[in-house]
Structure 1
């Protein structure tokens, strides 16, 4: 007799085995199960797609709307440390029990229909949100747009943040091909916001063909500012004297402007005041996106895993001021444009700490080393060398090596796959826990 998984970990392991492919783009199967589950939303839904900047835009929207007192559901992927991070209800990750309840419902409804891990979990989180009495729902697109499981929902507003080269095997290898896939989240007669300063012609043509209400940065909305503050201008709404988002980095004003354009579109259904926008931008938190950790040496966490994101990371590193040496902790999937990432960052990195990752489709540290050598990166000789390349079995080991070698005037950039950043975050958390345990043990042993 088949027994249903009991815990969240059991369920997630079970879902890995349900479908012959990890990624199987198409909406037919997801739409059928969605219909059986009766998933509908009676609140505004914002869908956010794009090559880079999706998560930051979602996080800003969530933060601003919550400052305005709205109960918000936000779905993002992938997660960094815990699966529960993908489903946020009113600012908190969903509980194991809440997710397991939805998994049981999806399993019962799907019957003979085979779903991928991503499709199954997307439906579960959509059902969780639909029953949670929310005021607004924010959905990050997983891959592409047109055929992504999230696109089974007809959003009230759709945002495309940027269009660049990534996931070529699924989306095509030119911006024009990829632009059509991203534009697939637009809907006829509904607002479609694009914050890419140079949108592909294919995206513009698709929006026009379906009759979407297209909002373009520089035409329908824009931003301006100085070092202290910035201003947003839309079709009928201005927001002045805004503080910079707490998310650091070169493209965050583009992302913030797209978020404010979406709120302008929804202003009659979800009114938001000027102070709530200011507070939301200042208080937004989104780990792993040019996240600069406190302390020295400076540590930067960034899930830059394609050349477009790597170029932004390079620009952000340039804006940080002088550091004697820059260490990289870098690991990536083998289907990524690793040569393109290296090209953007090789002139900013002195010491490369390369890591294997715990997935079959990950590039080995040694294969990345070969690409660095081919790109002209020349390691020096001896422990005092001003350049180096070293390979490690885990992100934790690579990071430990960088920490041991760096002094307080250096910096360490941890980037690449989510697994690279997550591995370092996990290692730091363990180190902190051990330090706290040692401190409490020492204090208790010194008590009379």
Structure 2
């Protein structure tokens, strides 16, 4: 098989969550462990950092990878889902996994694929682990797919675990209360391994996370209690931040520039810097200069896309992959703060989400352009339009995001602002991403 035939085989042979949702969800570690065992347990051949959370885990993973790259380490990065190219999931120092490796790996694992019937995600996790070993990485940053306890990535014993936050998402799999969801995320906490919680949320969630950490004697810290992040404006298209140490009361990081300009990144950056401190205390060589230079260029170093990404100016168009109420509330608030004459939203969703709760976050005094992602889990755009109308949100219906955005642009003045999102897969469909 050539590369395209291999990708077609993986998609057709394996259940893919981003396409079929619940039917592809395969909790448990057995199959991943078997795949890894057949490969000689590559995940044990290098150091790892494990990142979970409802929102922010992708950005956090990319920031950590950028810092470690700038510090001189050879860094693997595994994230999901991809936006444009399957190879985005597996990178070494920002470079995509090669097509040849994917072909060779799949051919070599075909008998296991046929006998074990793994999910698409389980195969991609094993593929990443093997690729990182063959590339002789020093460290790999591994983003959890969903939850933590039963996620396929949870076969590693990392140097440090990170949980960005706990919010409502994937409740049919993880539970319908924050403590239940927290319990699933806490499943990545390993015996004796330091764990960083990027933001303190409430006593119930804190009790779950602290309880699990105490149970396995894992040092736990809440980054939002350690650091206070102060935004001091924008400079050359980057957020300019002062980071205060709450323990000493001193300025820990002055004028830290970050090219990820979403307001929600102020929560993620505290967690990232806490991880850096833990790694340095464990003997890792990470200079201040490497942190400063990495944060300026996360996108360039790692290829991150779709996080509060400016697509054009005049009119201003932003896209964001926020796809649950907690994430959308942050991006909508930031969007509405932009100078504007009119607000325009290009929106689409997948069909297995509580879109009523999300639609309640959007303003009534705006123009709407409804669409649906090409993904097979897409919510039918006519259904979206009807549901939105019940919330007082009225707009036009389009077959895909590019048609919808083109219409929004044709109706907008240069002083309007346009937001594109609702689903990761809507953003992925953008031609000019």
Match in the other structure for 2:392? 376
Match in the other structure for 1:306? 324
Contact 2:174 2:184 in 1 (8 A): yes
Q: Does 1:15 align with 2:31?
A: no
| Structure 2: distance between partners of 1:73 and 1:55 | 14
Match in the other structure for 2:167? 164
Match in the other structure for 1:253? 266
Match in the other structure for 2:369? 353
SS at match of 1:147: coil
| Structure 2: distance between partners of 1:100 and 1:43 | 23
What do residues 266-302 of structure 1 show as CA deviations (whole Å, max 9, x unaligned)? 1144211111111111111131111123421101010
Deviates more, 1:401-410 or 1:355-364: 355-364
Greater C-alpha Rg: 1
Assess, with a 3 A threshold, how the Cα gap between structure 1 residues 137 and 154 changes in structure 2: closer, same or farther: same
Match in the other structure for 1:344? 361
Pick aligned residue for 2:211 from 201, 205, 215: 205
Match in the other structure for 2:157? 154
What do residues 233-260 of structure 1 show as CA deviations (whole Å, max 9, x unaligned)? 3889984214231101222122112112
| Structure 2: distance between partners of 1:79 and 1:329 | 21
| Structure 2: distance between partners of 1:298 and 1:331 | 19
| Structure 2: distance between partners of 1:242 and 1:72 | 26
| Structure 2: distance between partners of 1:232 and 1:97 | 47
| Structure 1: distance between partners of 2:114 and 2:379 | 37
| Structure 1: distance between partners of 2:56 and 2:170 | 16
Q: How many correspondences in the alignment?
A: 409
Contact 1:179 1:202 in 2 (8 A): yes
Pick aligned residue for 2:33 from 22, 31, 34: 31
Deviates more, 1:349-358 or 1:158-167: 349-358
Match in the other structure for 2:65? 62
Across the aligned residues of Structure 1 and Structure 2, the Cα RMSD in angstroms comes to 2.0
Instruction: Give structure 1 stretches of 5+ with no counterpart.
Output: 1-5, 380-388, 430-448
Match in the other structure for 1:439? none
Q: Does 1:194 align with 2:197?
A: yes
Match in the other structure for 2:116? 113
Alignment of 1:43-442 (within 5 A): 43-110=46-113, 112-198=115-201, 200=205, 201-219=207-225, 221-225=226-230, 227=232, 229-231=241-243, 233=245, 239-267=252-280, 268-285=282-299, 286-320=304-338, 322-347=339-364, 350-377=366-393, 379=394, 389-424=395-430, 426=431, 428=432
Assess, with a 3 A threshold, how the Cα gap between structure 1 residues 171 and 185 changes in structure 2: closer, same or farther: same
Query: Normalized against structure 2, the TM-score is what?
Result: 0.89
Deviates more, 1:390-399 or 1:91-100: 91-100
Match in the other structure for 1:385? none
Assess, with a 3 A threshold, how the Cα gap between structure 1 residues 296 and 49 changes in structure 2: closer, same or farther: same
Contact 1:298 1:412 in 2 (8 A): yes
